Amino acid sequence: MVEETYIEKVCIVRANSIVVDTVPRFSSDDSLFAEFSKQAFRQINPEYPKFFKMDSLSKLAVLAAEYLLEGQPIDDLALVLANRSGSLDTDVRHQESIQNEQEYYPSPATFVYTLANICAGEISIRHGLQTENAFFIAEDYPINTARSYTEYLLKSGKAKRVLCGWVEFFEEKYDAVLYIVSPKGTNKHSAENIKKLFE
C-alpha cells in the first residue's frame, strides 16, 4: 500500500506566464487570455485543433495540463480539480443568448461548457485518461479536502498518481495551479506544502 505521497511536479499559469516547477516556460505581453492561451498552447502542441473550440476555462485547464504532463507517464492518473466560479464565465454567455425572446439563439457549442467538470473531461480526452475524476467548487482552494481525497485515491489503489489543483476563470481573471501527486518525489504532499503553491 502507498505510504508516503509527494508533490512531484507543479505548473502555474497566471498573469500571461507559465511556470513549471520553478522554470519559466512561456510568457507573452498579450493581455487577452484568448491570444495568450493560443500562443502558449501552440508552442507546446501545434497539432490539437480541438483546443481552439474550447471555452476559456477548458483552455486554461488543458493548457496547464499540457505543460504539466509533458514527458510524464499518464498510466492510471486521476483528476481532482476545483475552482470558485464553476463555469460562470460561459454561463453568462449562454444566459445572454436566451435573455431576450427576440434575440433567442442558445447554442449547443456554448451550452455544453456550462458545467464545471467539462474542463476535466477535456483533459481526460486530450490525454486518454479513463480514470477517476472529481470537480469541487469552493471560495478558495479546499486544501484539506483535495489532499484527503487525493490520498484516498492513492491509498485505496483507485489511482496510481493524481493530477490535482485549481483552475479558475471568470471575466478575463484567471489562475491555474496544477500539480501531480505520486508515491515518488521529495516534496511531501502536506497541507503546508500545498498552501505554499498558492503563495
Partner 1 sequence: MSFGSAVYIHDFNCFTALGEDAEANWASILAGNGGIKAHNIGFLSEVYASKIDFSTIAVDEASEETRLEYILSQVMAPILNNHKPSRRTALVLSSTKGNISYLESGKKKEAELYRLAKKLSVKAGIVTEPILVSHACVSGVLAISVAKRLIQMDQYDEAIVLAGDELSAFVLSGFQAFQAVSPFPCKPFDADRAGVSLGEAGACLFLSRDSSMFKILGEGAINDANHISGPSRTGEGLFRSVQAALEEANVEADAIEFIAAHGTATAYNDEMESIAFNRLGLSTVPLNSLKGYFGHTLGASGLLETVITLKSMQEGVLIPTLGFEKLGTSQPLNVVERITKKTVRRVLKTASGFGGSNAAILIEKTW
Contact residues: partner 1, CB under 8 A: 79, 84-86, 88, 91-92, 94-95, 97-99, 101, 104, 106-108, 111-112, 114-118, 120-122, 124-125, 127-139, 142, 144-145, 148-149, 151-152, 155-158
Q: How far is the CB of 8 from partner 1 (least distance, A)?
A: 20
Q: CA triplet 69, 191, 11: central angle to 5 degrees?
A: 20
Residue 110 DSSP SS3:
helix
Tell me whether residue 17 or residue 183 sits nearer to partner 1 (CB atom).
183
Grid coordinates belonging to 116: 464545471
Q: How far is the CB of 84 from partner 1 (least distance, A)?
A: 6
Q: How far is the CB of 179 from partner 1 (least distance, A)?
A: 19
DSSP assignment of 47-60 equals S-GGGGGS-HHHHH
Grid coordinates belonging to 193: 506544502
Tell me whether residue 118 or residue 197 sits nearer to partner 1 (CB atom).
118
Residue 177 neighbours by CB distance under 10 Å:
19
Tell me whether residue 18 or residue 180 sits nearer to partner 1 (CB atom).
180
Tell me whether residue 20 or residue 119 sits nearer to partner 1 (CB atom).
119
Determine the Cα–Cα distance for residues 15 and 114; give it in Å rounded to an integer.
24
